[in-house]
Amino acid sequence: MKVYFDNAATTRVRDEVIAKMQTALADCYGNPSSTHSFGRTAKTAIETARKTIAKYLNAHPSEIIFTSGGTEADNMIMRCSVRDLDVETIITSRIEHHAVTHTAEDLEQEYGIALKYVDLDAFGNPDLDHLEELLKADASKKLVCLMHVNNEIGNMIDVKAISRLCVANQALFLSDTVQSIGHFEWDLAEIPIDFLTAAAHKFHGPKGIGFAFIRKNSNLKPMISGGAQERGCRAGTESYHNIVGLEEAFISAYDNLNEERDYVQGLKAYFIETIKKEIPEVEFNGLSGDLEKSTYTLVNLRLPIDRRKALMLLFHLDIKGVACSQGSACQSGSGKGSHVLNEILSEEEMMKPSLRFSFSRYNTKDEIDYAVMVLKDFMAD
């Protein structure tokens, strides 16, 4: 049996998305910047996709900029905010995606900005009182970078509260919503957030395409120079087939959101119930074991296994056909372990192996039963 529980890393592409992209590749191959009918057809489809996304997010189409994914979008917004908007201080946390933490560190070195980290509680939640202190500490122009859903432990920040804090202190707010878009509703007319980022492959779309929401009149200039594509915000010939694939995945995600959320949340609840029954000593990292306080798409668990035996755990799961991860796929093979878990676990807790299981509409309870059985058998050997 082969089961895939690594949906936080990437998701299976929906059949209707594949069909839409195949049609685009076969029949609509004009350059969107060309003025003939082939180009105009592609350009119209891109602008339709932009309007579709904006409609679901309650944003303006001009605020949606297509990128190669979340990492590029995070880099673009952070770098251009320092370069164009006179940002002198970046406030973030130590458990952000590396697209944010590494970019912030680079900007500290390159531009001499001040880099501040908000305190975290024992579960990995940002301390909003400390955030307010950092915002009020001096008169420098500030950019707050905090992700909505943590990609490793599933914690969810209060975006509305943080947005209000930023507005009250004349700070800009960027939220990496790569694990959130396609899984939660957004009303960007109601939430005064300045920037957010998304990637299609996290909600059953293609890899290599995403978008940035950039609030109107932000005055950001392009990071990539060249042509006038993406309303002058990002040069380069648009990836038309990926954009229409993103649009199709986006529509499917939101048109089926309630039904699929209920189903996936049921899977997570069943997983927690089953593994607690079969492996009573299991513990959950962050708030991932709390159905009310974490995303419904993943759990991050810690197993009572000694370190030497743990070295074979992922290999054993793979041999048995179970795909999951120890943390972010982006740091796989780094040998440094999870920077997120290092921040919230004790040295003793870090000695035990942690695994992230993440779920989608394509998973079943039978697959959960199998994965838990494989884990239980491994511990019994």
As annotated, the active-site residues are 330
CB 144 within 8 A of CB 134: no
How do 283-284 and 210-214 pair as beta strands?
unpaired
State how far the alpha carbon of 328 is from the alpha carbons of 7, 8, 97, 167, in Å: 11, 8, 8, 31
Distance CA 287, CA 155 (A): 6
Range 43-49 contact pairs with CB under 8 angstroms and sequence separation of 24 or more = 45/240, 45/243, 45/244, 46/238, 46/240, 46/243, 46/244, 48/247, 49/243, 49/244, 49/246, 49/247
Distance CA 76, CA 224 (A): 9
Cross-sheet strand order for the sheet of 283-284: 283-284, 298-302, 354-358
Distance CA 332, CA 295 (A): 22
DSSP class of residue 299? E
- What is the CB neighbour count within 10 angstroms for residue 49? 24
Q: How far is CA 84 from the centre of its chain?
A: 25
How do 210-214 and 195-199 pair as beta strands?
antiparallel
State how far the alpha carbon of 12 is from the alpha carbons of 17, 41, 193, 305, in Å: 10, 28, 30, 31
CB 111 within 8 A of CB 82: yes
Residue in the structure block whose two tokens are 């040998």: 335
